Amino acid sequence: MANEILLNQLTQLLDAYSLRQKRANIVQSSFKLVINTHSKTLKALRDYTEHDTTVDVKAALDAFSRLRVKEETIDPLTPDLRREIKSLATLVTALKESANALRAEPVDVVRLDKALTVLQASKESPVAEIIPELQNELDLAQRALGDEFGQKLRDALQTLGVTIGGRPPRFEIGRFELDANFARRACVLRYGKDIVAPHVSITVDATVKAYQSAVKAIQGRTVDGATWMAQLADAYQMAQRRRASTNSRVNIVDVYIEMVLLRQGRAFASEPSKRTFTDYSRAQFIYDFYEFTGRQRLAHKGQVVKAHSATKSQTDSPAKSMWIVEGDSPYDGRYIADIEFVKE
C-alpha cells in the first residue's frame, strides 16, 4: 500500500516548485520581451528621424539610446535565471517520478532510485527533509523484491545441491557473496571480497550461471600443489629483489603480480597482448593461497609460508592487502598484507 503521507508531501512540494518554475519562466519571457521591444522602439525612432517629420523625437531617441536595461540589468541576471529554470525543471521531474514510482504496485524501484539520486543532489531544504523517508521506501521495496528473488534463487540452487544464506540484498552462496541491486537491475558476485562477476542480470537463470561459471573458474581447476608452491617461492624472491628489500616480509599483492608474470608463456614474452596473456585472477590466487599454504600447509624446500595480517590502513587498499577466505563463508577469513617463508 502506498505511503499516503509521503505522497501528500511530494504533491505539496511538486505544486510549490512547479509554481516557482512557472514564475521563473515568466520572468525569462518578460526579459526577452523587454529586449525585443526596446530594440524595435529604437529602430522605429531612428527610421522616423530619417525623414521630414512634424514631431521631434530626438529627445526620445536619445533617452532610449541611453537606456542600458539589457546590459546593466537583464544580462547579469540571465545566467543565474537559466540555471534556476534548469534546476527547477530537473527537480520537478524528479518529484513527479518519485510520486509515480510510489504509486506503482509494486513500488517501481528503478524509477524511484533514479529520482532519489536527483533529489539527493538538490540543495533545497524542503526536499532534503523527505530524503530519509524516500530512502526508507526504496529500501523496503528492494527488500520485498529481494525476498521474492531470494526464494526463487534458493529453490533453483537447491536442485543443484547448493544452499544459500544471508539476507537480501546480500546472499551467501558458499564462499561467494551475491549483492543484488534491484534499482540497478544487476547483481555483483564476489569470491570473498573480490569481484568475480561485476554485472550479472538480476534473473535467477543468469545468477545461477554466473555462480556456476565462477565456481568452475576458481574452485574447479586442477592445480599441482608442489608446482604452485615453487612458483610462489620464485615470485616471492622476485618481488623482494625488484624492490631491493632485505626484509623477509614481502607484500602479498607484489608477490601475486610477480606470480602472474611467471605464469606467462613464450608467446606473451615475444608479443605481449591480450591475446597471448594467460589470466590468473586475484580470486584464483586467493583460493590457491589458502588451499596450499593454509589448509594443506605445504612446504617448499623445508620452508612454509607465514602470513601476516593487515593493518587497518592496509585493508582499505586492494593494492596493499588481500582478503583470504579461510572457511565456508565469504566472511570467514582475514586480510593478509605480507608473507614470508620460514622453516617448518
For position 176, what pLDDT does the model report?
97
Instruction: List the grid coordinates of 37.
Output: 521591444
pLDDT in tens, 166-210: 988 899 999 999 999 998 889 999 999 999 999 999 999 999 999
Q: Please answer whether residues 271 and 176 qualify as being in contact, where contact means their C-beta atoms are separated by less than 8 angstroms.
A: no
Element (DSSP H or E) covering residue 338:
strand 333-343
CA 9, chain centre distance (Å): 29
DSSP secondary structure string for all residues of 144-193: HHHHHHHHHHHHHHHTTT---EEETTEEEETTEEEEEETTTTEEEEEETT
Q: Judge whether 126 and 93 are in contact, CB under 8 Å.
A: no
Mean pLDDT within 238-247: 86
Query: Residue 9 — very low, low, confident or very high, per pLDDT cuts 50/70/90?
Result: very high
55-91 residue pLDDT tens: 888 888 888 888 888 898 899 999 999 999 999 999 9
Query: Which residues sit opposite 25 in a β-bridge?
Result: none
pLDDT at res. 57: 86
Task: Select from 153, 190, 213 the least CA-distant residue to 329.
Answer: 190
Dump pLDDT digits (tens) for 269-313.
888 888 889 899 999 999 999 999 999 999 999 999 999 999 999
Q: How confident is the model at residue 1 (pLDDT cuts 50, 70, 90)?
A: low
CA distance 94 to 88: 10
198 secondary structure, DSSP code: E
Give residue 56's pLDDT: 86
The closest of 340, 212, 216 to 284, measured between CA atoms, is 216
pTM for this one?
A: 0.75
The per-residue pLDDT of the chain, averaged, comes to: 93
> Residue 265: CB partners within 8 Å, gap ≥ 6?
276, 278
- The Cα 2–Cα 106 span in angstroms is 9
Among the listed residues 334, 327, 294, the one whose alpha carbon sits nearest the alpha carbon of residue 311: 334
Q: How far apart are CA 170 and CA 182, in angstroms?
A: 12
The pLDDT, as a whole number, for residue 69 is 85
Give residue for cell 518519485. Answer: 98
pLDDT at 253: 97
The per-residue pLDDT for 98 is 96
Which pLDDT score, from 0 to 100, does residue 2 have? 65
Q: What's the mean pLDDT in 331-343?
A: 96
Residue 238, pLDDT score: 94
Q: Is the peptide bond before 79 cis (omega within 30 degrees of 0)?
A: no
Which pLDDT belongs to residue 158? 92
Burial class (CB within 10 angstroms; exposed 0-12, middle 13-18, buried 19+) of 49: middle
pLDDT of residue 270: 86
Q: 117: how many CB neighbours lie within 10 A of its CB? A: 11
The rounded percent of the chain whose pLDDT value lies above 90 is 78
pLDDT of residue 12: 96
Convert the pLDDT of each residue in 117-146 to its tens digit: 999 999 999 999 999 999 999 999 998 898
Specify the range with the lowest mean pLDDT, choosing from 3-7, 9-13, 89-93, 266-270: 266-270
Arithmetic mean of pLDDT, 218-230: 96
Over 70: is that where the pLDDT of 105 sits? yes
Closest CA to 90 of 63, 118, 71: 118
Task: Give kind and range of the element (H or E) at residue 262.
Answer: helix 252-262
